[in-house]
Amino acid sequence: MATPTPVEVLSAVFQVREPTEGRPTLHVLLYRSAVDAPWSLPGGDVGARETLAAAARRHLGAQCGLTRVAHLEQLSMLSDPDRIPDVRTIAATYLGLVPRDVPVEPATVDAENPGAARWFDVDELPDLAYDHAEVVDLARGRIAGKLSYTNLAFALAPARFAMSELSEIYGAALGYHVDATNLLRVLSRRGVVIATGTVGRTGRSGGRPPALYSFADDSLVVTDEFAALKPPP
């Protein structure tokens, strides 16, 4: 009888975070089991009575202390016989998103905690284990695509937001500037965002307090299956 092929789960979880300086950028959560181990996507084995999604959430909690993921969806199955040397392993990969206002500060490496998790800017990643960099690229593409024709940004945005903040989130995820006025027009026409009737804090430059909006749905909805957000000319 042939030996069963091991199956693992890997999760590419993203959050738009504030850098030390400059504009907000998209970050991905990485984990390493020891100081000298390579950085990798959080994940591991699947329990005998466990679904793939449940296993993904378990490893995110155990390895990264992450217990709240606003959106989690299966991304791909990796089955190249040589993706991991010596032991053929099939990987089920997941895309996860965390809202911008959810504080997630994973533990750092120390003598009592050899494992560590950390957020990395997606454009400044360290060398990753095996094929994990390919998973990050695939996940970024999935985000960019779904921002065009769904309300996926609900999982990256706070519960209430000014359109200037939402345009920053779209810009961070897409990699190019998104005009707040045009974004409001598009999302309002599709019924994706609604005005809350409240205002936020005035910015550093003063002026009128910004109107606050929220997403009409807090789960994934296809809003325009033929839409495509394009970078400015």
In angstroms, the CA 167 to CA 174 distance is: 10
The answer to whether position 138 is within a domain reads no
- At 62, which CATH number? 3.90.79.10
Tens-place pLDDT, residues 125-176: 999 999 999 999 999 999 999 999 999 999 999 999 999 999 999 999 999 9
- 3-state SS class at 16: strand
Alpha carbon separation from 155 to 49, 127, 201, 209 (Å, rounded): 28, 27, 22, 24
In angstroms, the CA 75 to CA 138 distance is: 8
Strand pairing of 90-97 and 7-17? parallel
- Quote the pTM value: 0.92
The answer to whether position 2 is within a domain reads no
Here the tokens at position 219 are 């789960």
Tens-place pLDDT, residues 34-74: 888 899 999 999 999 999 999 999 999 999 989 889 999 99
Are 211 and 166 part of one and the same domain?
yes
The tally of domains found in the chain comes to 2
The answer to whether position 180 is within a domain reads yes
The answer to whether position 220 is within a domain reads no
- 3-state SS class at 58: helix
DSSP state of 2: P
DSSP state of 125: -
The answer to whether position 232 is within a domain reads no
Q: Which residues constitute the domain of residue 206? A: 148-215
In angstroms, the CA 224 to CA 134 distance is: 28
